[in-house]
Structures are given as structure tokens and as C-alpha cells.
Amino acid sequence: MNHTITAAWTATLFACCLGTPPDATAQQTPPVRITCNTDGTSAPNEVEIVKELSYTQHTLGDTYPYKDTERRFQWDKIGEWLSALEAAQQDSVTWVTLQNYKDRNGIAPEVQDPEINEYRSATDRYGVSRYQSIPLYGSQTGKPARYSRDGALFLLLKDSADYVKVCSMLYDGAWYVPKDYVRTLPVHRFSKVIFVDRTDQNIATLEKVGTVWYVRSMNPATTGLHNPPYQQETPLGVYVIQEHKPKMYYLRDGSSEIAGFAPWASRFTRGGYIHGVPLNNPKATEKNYIEFSPTLGTTPRSHMCVRNATSHAKYIYDWATPLESLVIVID
């Protein structure tokens, strides 16, 4: 496979962030509608994607059968995301991630016109929960206009004493964020990106070497299921790998009892991890690990996480450096 993808829509890139008032009614509609540039320029971008796998187990084809349908890797959409990222990546830019895992940086203030969702959780009008989220302000006064999810990627436009001005690949306009929620990333350019496809239930890892994006793995995955009160869909968006855990322990639904753990976990938002096949035994050792589940690549069924073959989760755990690698969740 060798795809050269020209993303014509990039002619509208980056026009949003130079003092344009944010549109509080703008919907989060991945794939990328806009991105942001500090100088307001835009230009079409070409992305070359070449298959050169470094993880070769459980590999899927570009297209493959599922029941009576055909599933695929959406290389056109992946190319568009990479094109947007390429257009933004410059040595002069500063990337940040917004963090509020378990509300450790403070409960986000209430937004304008809050709502209550099916999980009995307060949200903004776009369905983003207040819990573990970050407030986005249209100005440095008043209530926040919306929330950003924990772990999301933003481009820093301006720093000040109490707030930073940032721009997203998802939301129109520039936004102000209290500095307590902001972590500056150590890289100006990202070379490792993981794509999670909720529609086709697959996952691909890509690595940029020189001018080429190489596909390193193409595997089945299982994403989160919208099923209140405990299971949630894997949220669309652009995230930064936050941390690794060799074992991600989870609780029995509705209980504080540890039910088991998932191995080789890479957290990217809230309690959302890329991980291996779970074990319903908190005391299990590596010799008990389960390599594969027949439900992988079928239908959403997790609590938010992205379930993988255990060896593929370990590959990502070793390959994707925290705070330097991205996870992009698409439909």
C-alpha cells in the first residue's frame, strides 16, 4: 500500500485563531473541520502513507470481511488528520495538553446553560461531562462556554499570568484556559500517532520518518459502548498519551471492589486506556495473560477503553512515549 492523499479542505486551515471570537454553538464534529495556525496562513498539504509494519500479529487488510459487510481502514480520513497535523507542526509552535484526571486540578466551573445527561452527570451543551474536564472560556471573565476533555491536544497561542490562550483542532475560535489545567508538551512535532476507528472497530499506528508516515500496525480493536450507567463510548477527538500502566486495575460495576486488571495500558483521556485483554483476577501474573479475544474487532463493548490483543497493547506501551504521542479517535 502506498497512498498519497491531498487534503483539499486544508485551504480553510488555521483561519480561526487570530482573535476570532469563539462560536459557542460550534459543534465538535471530527474529522477535522479547522485547525489553527499562529500566523493565520493556510495551504493544501500532501501526506504520504506507506505500509511498513513493525508489529505483524493479528494484522488486518486494508479492507476485510465482517459478517455480511466489509470493513476497512479509512486511509482517506487518516490522511486528512495527518495533513492537518502537518500543517500545524512547526519548530516555533508550542503544543499543550489539558489535564484534569479525576479532577486533580480542580472541579471545572459550571458552564453557561448546563445540562444533565443519561449518566446523571452535569455536561455542557455538547455532551462533555463536567467531571474530569477543563473549562474553555471565550474571554477571561464570566462562565466557561464549554468543556474540553481531559488529555486533549491544543496549540498554545498566548501565555499570561493566570490564563493561556489556546486553539483546538476541533473547535472554532481561540479559547482561554486557567493555567492549572495546562501542561506544555516537550515536542514541537509529533511523529507517532495512533488512530482508533469506532465505526470499523480497528486501530492503526503510524510513525513519521523523514517525510513519510509509515503504518506500523493494523489490528482489530474494541471501543467503548454507550450503555448507562457504567459503560461509555470512546470519545472522538485528538488526545495525547498521558501515562503508561503495566496493569490498569478496574472496579466491579457499582462497587469499590477491584474486579481485575487490563495489561499494558496507555491512558489518553479520563479513564480511557488502550490496553490488552482484561483478566478478571486482580492477582493474575503475566503467565496468565490472554493474548486474544474473539470479540476484538466486532462491536463496541468496553467501558470507554480501547481493547487490543495483549501483545499489540504491549507494542503500543513500548512504542508510544507519553506526552509525545497522539491518539486520534475517528468514526
- The confidence score (pLDDT) of residue 171 equals 83
Nearest to 49 by CA among 95, 10, 7, 91: 7
Query: Would you say 36 and 17 are in contact if contact means Cβ atoms under 8 Å apart?
Result: yes
pTM, two decimals, is 0.89
CA distances from residue 309 to 62, 68, 127, 159 in whole angstroms, order as listed? 18, 24, 31, 42
* 191 vs 316: CA distance, rounded Å: 14
Which pLDDT value is given to residue 17? 44
Domain spans of the chain, in order of start: 1-236
Per-residue tens of pLDDT for the chain, all 331 residues: 443 333 333 333 344 443 333 343 333 333 333 333 334 343 446 799 999 999 999 999 999 999 999 999 999 999 999 999 999 998 889 999 999 999 999 999 999 999 999 999 999 999 999 999 999 999 888 999 999 999 999 999 999 989 999 999 888 889 999 999 999 999 999 999 999 999 999 999 999 999 999 999 999 999 999 999 999 999 999 999 999 999 999 999 999 999 999 999 999 999 999 999 999 999 999 999 999 999 999 999 999 999 999 999 999 999 999 999 999 999 9
Contact 137, 145 (CB under 8 A): yes
Beta carbons of 238 and 326 less than 8 angstroms apart: yes
Alpha carbon distance 290, 311 (integer Å): 9
Buried b (16+ CB within 10 A) or exposed e, 274-287: bbbbbbeeeebeee
What SS3 state is found at 88?
helix
Predicted confidence at residue 45, as pLDDT, reads: 61
